[in-house]
Chain A
Amino acid sequence: MINDSGLIWAVVAITFAAMMAGRFLVRRFAVRLRPIRAYEALPVLAADAVESARRVHVSLGDSALGDASTVTALVSAEIAYRMSERLAISHQLPLLTLTSPMTLPLAQDTLRRAYLYRRTMGYYRSSAAAWYPAGLAFAAGAASLSADLDADSNILLGRFGANLALLGESALRHSQAVIAHSDLLEGQAVAFVQAREVLLGEELYAGPAYLNGTALERGSVLAQDVLRWLVILGIIAAALQTI
């Protein structure tokens, strides 16, 4: 019988092997990922914001480095980077809000890297990443800041609870587009009803692959699919055993 640590290493090994195989396939063949409307909308929102000289509000919510949502925070920050890179040609910085002070340096660095890459460091200000205490205080603070700055759109990715409803409601009142995701069920439900485009569950983690992704990032989407089918087969096998 395999123990917990054995299982962890097995999962990591299978994922790594599937990712490398996916990378090979992506490089060798023209692999097309299924369209996800939220990722199709993101570049359009960035272009709209640049053209109208308005800001984009990107929120990482409660996702935090150092706890269970570390990977969610990293992926959300990577998507924020790809958006910021498009927005960095404008002097209107994106607004990045979050509740974890541990993630604040990551958020600031995400913006800095985007402006450094575009060679527009003169526009960059570290205060474009704003921290608020967790809970409804965050939702109220981030929503009012986004409204005051007349943001063009709100991209809410990461970990949100039911407080996402406040952010979404404020955005809709100010005619701002909303793209939302949460790795918590409450937040995911709210995102489904409020967002113009919603990202469901694992779709967030495929984000870097969809936004000018590298072969490895696209390969990791294939790895996700392999893992999903392994889980499905495992569930079916377990169900058959109980019959």
Chain B
Amino acid sequence: MSAFSFPLVGEGRRDGGPSGLWGRFVNNHRLLHFLSSLTVISVGVAMLVGLSSEWGTPPADFAALMLHLVTVIAAVAVFVGVFNLLAVHLGRLARSERGWPYSLLALLAAAGVIALRILDRAEVWSGDLQGEQMSARAFEAVQVSLESALAGLLVFFLVYAAYRLMRRQVTVWSVLFTLAVLVALVGWIPLEETEVLADAREWLVRVPVSAGARGILIGVGLGTVAAGVRVLTGQDRSIRG
């Protein structure tokens, strides 16, 4: 068996997979591969036809229905995500893994916000707090301010990373990067003496940065198309059981 071939029919049961009638079906990899590939190819092609059809035609309606289904599933998936978050941190707490106090804090915060939201819905607040959404307030006070503080630190992380890049290995590209960072940072200083650098910064952003950014985005687009066609032809392994 080659390194990436799949086990033959029925072998999966020895892997600790499900047993019984369902197990026989699940462990029958070839049948599962065929069914999942068939589903992906047919739905993928139907979506492609639907999205490139006139609005109101049956293929377009089918595509709209599928997109609607995705939206509903996405909403349900948020619950799955929250349960996963709780399960991961409860597990860390139960096993007393390193950093478990942070997990405890995360669990308490989650429980607190859920309780606040329930109290908001029940409209229990009175006095000055009447009509207030305390869960939204807690979000603003903690989450938004913390995120803003961290965002403010990002520029220092990046400048320090540029310094570390130069220390690690001096190459043409790292020198070019550091020079660009210096020009961009100094170019922002509103002094007459640095006007030349301000012009240089503007040119940098308008010409090489813009060209490079387009190059990267076109590359990402081409990669997406190539990988997308691979998925459409049922050759992507993630869709197989």
Asked whether A223 lies within 8 Å of B16 as measured between CB atoms, the reply is no
Asked whether A224 lies within 8 Å of B222 as measured between CB atoms, the reply is yes
Asked whether A119 lies within 8 Å of B15 as measured between CB atoms, the reply is yes
0/1 per residue, A197-222, Cβ < 8 Å to B? Answer: 00011111110000010101100110
Docked Cα-Cα span, A227 to B87, in Å, equals 45
Docked Cα-Cα span, A78 to B238, in Å, equals 6
The one of A102, A183, A192 that contacts B177, using a Cβ cutoff of 8 Å: A192
* Given A144-B102, A165-B158, A193-B161, A130 and B219 contact (CB-CB distance below 8 Å): no
B residues less than 8 Å from A203 (CB atoms): 223
* Given A71-B231, A214-B4, A188 and B216 contact (CB-CB distance below 8 Å): yes
Q: In the complex, what residue of chain B is closest to A107 when comparing beta carbons?
A: B84
B124 at the interface (CB under 8 A from A): no
| SS class, residues of chain B in contact with chain A | helix
* Given A185-B213, A185-B216, A165 and B238 contact (CB-CB distance below 8 Å): no
Asked whether A205 lies within 8 Å of B223 as measured between CB atoms, the reply is yes
Asked whether A212 lies within 8 Å of B238 as measured between CB atoms, the reply is no
B215 at the interface (CB under 8 A from A): yes
Asked whether A81 lies within 8 Å of B78 as measured between CB atoms, the reply is no
Closest 5 interchain pairs by CB?
A: A205-B223, A101-B81, A5-B52, A201-B219, A148-B99
Asked whether A227 lies within 8 Å of B165 as measured between CB atoms, the reply is no
| SS class, residues of chain A in contact with chain B | helix
Q: In the complex, what residue of chain B is closest to A172 when comparing beta carbons?
A: B164
Given contact pairs A12-B229, A106-B238, A205-B224, enumerate 16 new A-B contacts (beta carbons under 8 Å): A71-B223, A72-B224, A78-B236, A117-B15, A119-B14, A135-B147, A147-B99, A162-B158, A202-B219, A212-B3, A214-B235, A220-B226, A220-B227, A220-B230, A223-B226, A228-B222
Size bracket of the A interface: 35 or more
A residues less than 8 Å from B233 (CB atoms): 16, 19
B residues less than 8 Å from A42 (CB atoms): none
Docked Cα-Cα span, A71 to B137, in Å, equals 37
A48 at the interface (CB under 8 A from B): no
B residues less than 8 Å from A223 (CB atoms): 226, 229
* Given A5-B52, A9-B52, A104 and B84 contact (CB-CB distance below 8 Å): yes
Docked Cα-Cα span, A188 to B95, in Å, equals 37
* Given A71-B227, A116-B17, A137-B143, A130 and B151 contact (CB-CB distance below 8 Å): no
A residues less than 8 Å from B157 (CB atoms): 165-166, 168-169
0/1 per residue, A115-143, Cβ < 8 Å to B? Answer: 01101011001010111100111011100
* Given A190-B158, A220-B230, A101 and B77 contact (CB-CB distance below 8 Å): yes
Asked whether A166 lies within 8 Å of B238 as measured between CB atoms, the reply is no
A11 at the interface (CB under 8 A from B): yes
B residues less than 8 Å from A168 (CB atoms): 157, 161
Within 8 A of A (CB), among B201-241: 213, 215-220, 222-233, 235-238
Q: List 28 A-B contacts (CB under 8 A).
A: A5-B52, A11-B225, A12-B225, A19-B226, A74-B227, A74-B231, A74-B236, A81-B238, A101-B77, A101-B78, A102-B74, A109-B238, A117-B6, A129-B84, A136-B147, A136-B150, A141-B106, A165-B161, A169-B157, A185-B217, A193-B161, A193-B162, A205-B224, A205-B227, A216-B230, A224-B223, A228-B219, A231-B222
A residues less than 8 Å from B79 (CB atoms): 101
Asked whether A212 lies within 8 Å of B154 as measured between CB atoms, the reply is no
Nearest CB on A from B174, distance (A): 8
B21 at the interface (CB under 8 A from A): no
Q: In the complex, what residue of chain A is closest to B215 when comparing beta carbons?
A: A201
A77 at the interface (CB under 8 A from B): yes
Q: In the complex, what residue of chain B is closest to A106 when comparing beta carbons?
A: B238
Nearest CB on A from B96, distance (A): 12
A residues less than 8 Å from B91 (CB atoms): 125, 127
- Residue in B15, B218, B226 whose Cβ sees the most chain A Cβ within 10 Å: B226
